[in-house]
Structure 1
């Protein structure tokens, strides 16, 4: 293999990797979880008692670790997608498989985020839960209007 051909191949692989990252981040973005706003609501606007606050912090720590693991998996899926794009230069079986894997990972993160939201809700009294529920509905429907 000549140096020129090697450089050209490296350039194509690099551009495919960039395209894969672009596709993964911009065309298939994970929805921003409503939990950030909900955490702010819980901490700033709902009067949590000390036990609720302690339990909420414990839930947040567990979820933060889980979320980081899922986000790392999504980054790995983006690398796989970039490699598939570099190998196929079309929507072929490797690209399709990488996209499907990425969607599965994003779906799992969304399910885990919702499980976390419901776990937080279980800590609340009925009056607190009503405000929490209203914030969830607002967060999920705001862009639909």
Structure 2
């Protein structure tokens, strides 16, 4: 094989690998989380004044603490669920209780996330709130990939 063929083969292999990565990212990457899209909207697309920035920052700090607390609870619940599965080897009462507890904490996180979203919305002007609402609806209704 000549050097030219090796170069062509290397380029084709590189192009195929690159295409595979791009296809995998498109098809298998999870959609962005709603809060990621909201954060991008607030800090990149809406023109917030200094007071709005300060108020939203305070809301984000407080919510991050609450979210971390609930996520810690969910990790503990997952450990309890694993222990219940290991003990019962099936869907027994301990597994059912662990699942119910996990669902309760997940529901609490969802409620607190919505309260946080509405608290941030309350900081916005009407024109900003309309864009915010549209972004929330888009984020919640986009089809799963």
TM-score normalized by the length of structure 2: 0.76
Secondary structure of residue in 1 paired with 2:56: helix
Aligned to 1:82: 82
Segments of 4+ in structure 1 off by > 2 A? none
Deviations 1:120-139 (A, max 9, x none): 00000000000000000000
Aligned to 1:36: 36
Aligned to 2:91: 91
Cα distance between partner residues in 1 of 2:118 and 2:143: 22
Equivalent positions of 1:1-145 (< 5 A) are 34-143=34-143
Question: Do the aligned residues in 2 keep the contact of 1:33 with 1:113 (CA within 8 Å)?
Answer: no
Secondary structure of residue in 1 paired with 2:80: helix
Return the offset for 1:143: 1.7
Return the offset for 1:37: 1.0
Return 5+ residue gaps in structure 2 as ranges: 1-31
* Number of aligned positions between the proteins: 114
**Aligned in 2, Cα 1:33/1:116: closer, same or farther, shift over 3 Å?**
farther
RMSD, aligned CA? 1.4
Secondary structure of residue in 2 paired with 1:123: coil
Question: Do the aligned residues in 2 keep the contact of 1:77 with 1:102 (CA within 8 Å)?
Answer: yes
